[in-house]
Each structure stands twice: as structure tokens, then as C-alpha cells.
A and B are shown apart, each in its own frame.
Chain A
Amino acid sequence: MSETDENGSEELITTEVQPKNKSARKDVTGTVVDVEELDVWYGDEKALDDVTMGIDENRVTALIGPSGCGKSTFLRCINRMNDQIEVCRVEGGVRFKGKNVYDDDVDPVALRRRIGMVFQKPNPFPKSIRDNVAYGLRVQGRADYTDIEARCEEALREAALWDEVSDQLGSSGLDLSGGQQQRLCIARAIAPDPEVVLMDEPTSALDPVAESKIEDLIDKLAESYTVVIVTHNMQQAARISDKTAVFLTGGELVEYDDTQKIFENPDDDRVEDYITGKFG
């Protein structure tokens, strides 16, 4: 499968790129998202099967697994983006700070204002860079950011894009390169200061240099945000995440533990096979 093909140069990558320095992390204060016995169906097809896991605050959690294993579905359950899909049915609980986001009294719009998301393909709006970053603040009518301009600058700095675009804030976000567009999308996602940032394969459409910049950025983001990232790239998961969840076909969460343990000494044989490229 494609994942293993991509990793033909596995050894080279792992020896060349040192794992990020994850020492800058705050102490774990608890979990911010708790998923309990989550089942998801698309029509008659089961996409997630009885998944239970807690996501630590201010940590990077990676979700890996072969195509169609449900990792993106899992991500989209957290901010209820799955609501957009008519045939999608969810059972079980996803607690965000203790509140089940699938309770009847939860407004998905309000939920998404607390949880940002970055997509696989950079998707800036066909608007200026400034308007892209300000979009979330504007639709949320955030009175606490009276100075939208200042918050935009801050978000662009956090997304490591400010130095490259500070003199062209009025030009279209689509004029940027792919990697810059993705950092713009990250700036856009963090501008309203969410608690959690979900990333769905944010570097899969980018070249290696742009990818490496985004990885540096994700490491920094974990100082202020909880990051949950879906990735096809196992080296990426190993480099940037604190904890890793391995999903396998059928939507089963096979193993969830510290990233180091998953990659060095997984409990489950299937995880070891998947990581070493024998399976998947």
C-alpha cells in the first residue's frame, strides 16, 4: 500500500531527522477530550468500532493507520464536522472538557469555535491574507478581540508566517505557495484562540521543506494548544507527537500509548507489523 511505498527511505529519514525536542511541554494537567465507546457508521458501513481514548491537554497526539481505518473520521467526530455528512451516524460519547459534544443541547457551531481544524489540502478563502486570518474572529463576533488587526499579526507570528507576508497582507491568500497557504490556514485556525487544534494530514500535499516547517510549527503550537494530528507518515508521528494512537482497518483502535513506546516496543504484534511496514 501507498504508506509503505512512501517509506522506502525509512532508515534514511529516521537517522537524518532527530526527534523534536519535546521538553518545552508543560506538565500534563489532564485530558481535554475523552472519547468513550465511540461507534460511527456511514450508512451500513462501520467506520469506528468502540473507540475509547483520552487526549492529553497541551500535547501532540498522533493518529496513524492505513487508509480507511477511521482516523480522519475520529478527528471529525471531535468537532462534529461529520454532521455535514448526511449518512453519518454516531453512537457513544465524545467529551470535550467533560461535556458530551453529541448531547442534544450542544450547538456544533459553538463547539467548532473552541476547536480549530486544519485540512489536508490547504484551503484558504479567495480573500486577502488579512481577511483569511480574521475570518474566524469575524464570524464569531469576538468582542474580546477589539483589535482584530493585532490578533491577526499575533496569529501569523504564531504560525511562523508573519515575516514572509507582513508586507502583503492585502494580497490574496491564494497567491502564496502551498506551504505558506497551509501555515495561513493554521494561523486562521488559531486566531480565535481555540483549545484544541485538529489537523487532518496537514503536510501530505506539501513538499519536504514545507513539511518540515509545519512540523516545527506543530511542536511550538503544543506549548499553547492541544494538537491532534492525523498522519500517513509514521516518521512524522514519531518526530512530533507525544502520544500515538494506531488504528487498523475496521475502525479499531489497536494501541494507544506514548509515542516512544509505540515505535520502540508496541504491545500488539499488528502494530509492530504495521510500523515496520510488514502490514498495511
Chain B
Amino acid sequence: MSTGTGSDPAGITRDVSKEDQKRDRQVKYVLLGCAGVTVATTVAIFLVLFDNASGYFFENRLHEIVLGASVEQVITFTEFFTGTRWAPDHSTPAHGILPIVWGTLTITVGAAFISIPIGTATALYVSEYSSGRVRAYLKPSLEVLAGIPTIVYGYFAISVVTPFILSPVGEVVGLSFGRRSMAAGAFVVGVMTIPMVASISEDAMNSVPYDLRNGAYALGATKFDVSTKVVLPAAVSGIFASYILAVSRAIGETMAVALAAGMTARITLNPSEQIMTMTTYMVNMARGESAVGTVEYQSLFAVGLVLFLMTLAMNLLNDRLKQRFREEYQ
């Protein structure tokens, strides 16, 4: 027992615990530094995107303009957001982003039609219907599926999905599928995001208290009643979060769609045609030899900025939905 001195008879002043306080402060700064990396990276990416994108629209980049360079708009926002031809690198360039936004949206919506129902059903099965032994195998295998590099999915689309699924179906409905197509892209991105929907939804369902399930079972509810009327409503905010994450992932997916969906920027509803997504355009451009500072080079950043804003919008939507549907079950 440490005994106090004259001014501190109880031994409880700050002097006594100096070392502890110092260590606490150090730990706090280390943790803060780690958290700061994420924030700093996000801010830096946004600044670089914004700076270069302004060069695309205004000839000079934002930091150059701030330093006194002239402001001359070379590509109007009207052309950019409403034009229906996208070919910044063509000899007669066109700067309408709609075709590649369309490409991204069709892949995203198509993928959601696959991943959301199948992922949710898988989650319900694992959480409510499967026995402990089945769950012990199913959950890890979902996670393995989530860990496969996306380019492998791209090859899977070309070598399996197109010849063995899409082509036979296409013959029946009268579409002829080439090596790459919108449908193939949507299909693999959908399959790729099933584990994400299933795994996160299952976590949400699993965290619904067993008391609630027991209450329903004791009233003579069937498994289906408990799943649809108790578990789903109580887990809805987590389930929505999984949908939004899957959609964000589909929007940002690059290699699989570049391989599976093609490289032709066009607005079409025909699922057997090639399309080009925003990410495919970017990876193409970045791979090519467009020199730094050219319009093609800077178009990358303009597209990137739009992409960034789209995923940001999804994240904000996610937060709103969570607030709106949060189920307080104690």
C-alpha cells in the first residue's frame, strides 16, 4: 500500500499514476494515427480526382486555376451528362458519359436481380432452417466464394456461363450471345456478390434474439412464419445494408466485367450485346498509353469522380435506410 505524503494523504492525486496516464495518452495517439490514415486517404483521393477532373472540363486543373491559370470550359456539363456517345480518345471525340453510366447501371441492376433473392434465401436457410452441421460447412464455403479473385469470375463467365448457360438460353429466346455480353457480366457480378448478401444478412438474422423466435414458436408459428414475420422484419436494417454493399460492389467491380461484358460503349437493352462500364473504360484507359495531361487521361478522373459520387450516394442511402428501418428489439 502506498502511503500518501503531506499534501496528498490519500495517495489519489495525478502524481501517483503518472506512468499510467502517459501510456494511456500514447495508446490514444497511436490509435488516432491509424484512424487518420483512412480519413487522409479518402480526402487525398477526392482531391486528386477533383483536381484532374476539373482539368478535363476546364483545360486547366483546379490547383493551376487557383494559382492564376485561365478558366476556359472545353467540355460542357451538358455534353458530359446528356451526350449519348462516349469516345474521348476517338479522332472525332465525344464526351457523353451516359453510355458507360448505362453500362454500369445495367450490370448493377442485373446483378442485384441475382444476388438479392438468392443471397437472402441462402441467409434464411443458413440462419433458420439448416442444422448446426450444415451451417458449419455452408458459412465457410460462402466466405471462400467471397474470397475468389474477381478476374477468375471473369474467366468463369467467358468459359462456363456464356457457352453453357447463356448460349443455350439465347437459342431458345432467339438471341445470339458472343464471347462477351451484358448478360454475362451481370450474371457473374450477381454470383460474385451472393456471398456478400448472404453472409451479412445471415449475421443480421443471427443477431435477432432467440427469445423472439421462441415467443413465436410457442404460439404455434411454423418456421416460415418465424422467418418471414419475426426474423426478417427484425433483421431488416442489416439485410438492407448487405444489399447496398452488394450494389456498391457491383458498381465498382472492374476486372470481371471488363472480361465478361465487353468494351463497347453503347446504350442498349439487348442483353446479348457488349457494353462498357465506367470501370472498364477506366481500366482500358489506364492500361493504354494516353499521356499525362491529355484529355483522354483526364477523362479517367472525371469518370472516376462520377463513380465516386455514385458509391457515396449508395453509402448515404444505406445510412438513411438503417435509420428508417432500425428495429429496436430491446
Contact = CB atoms under 8 A, between A and B. Distances in A.
B218 A125 contact: no
Contact of B217 (A112, A126, A189): A112
Contact of B220 (A113, A127, A172, A174): A113
Contacts of B327: 126
A192 B211 contact: no
B217 A125 contact: no
A109 B329 contact: no
20 contacts: A81-B217, A86-B131, A112-B218, A113-B219, A116-B219, A117-B218, A119-B218, A123-B212, A126-B212, A126-B233, A126-B234, A126-B328, A126-B329, A135-B216, A135-B221, A136-B219, A139-B219, A139-B221, A174-B329, A189-B219
A188 B214 CA distance: 13
B279 to A, nearest CB: 40
A188 B219 contact: yes
Given A125-B230, A126-B234, A84 B217 contact: yes
B33 to A, nearest CB: 40
B219 A135 contact: yes
10 closest residue pairs by CB, A with B? A113-B220, A117-B218, A136-B219, A123-B211, A112-B220, A139-B221, A123-B215, A139-B225, A126-B329, A126-B327
B131 A139 contact: no
A50 B161 CA distance: 60
Interface residues of B, number: 23
B218 A116 contact: yes
Contacts of A81: 214, 217-218
B222 A123 contact: no
Interface residues of A, number: 28
Contacts of A174: 328-330
A174 B209 CA distance: 14
A63 B225 CA distance: 31
Nearest to A117: B218
A260 interface: no
A44 B225 CA distance: 33
A114 to B, nearest CB: 8
Interface string B319-330: 000000001111
B63 interface: no
A47 to B, nearest CB: 18
A126 B211 CA distance: 12
Interface in B196-240: 209, 211-212, 214-222, 225, 229-230, 233-234
A110 interface: yes
A140 interface: yes
Interface string A172-207: 101000000000010011001000000000000000
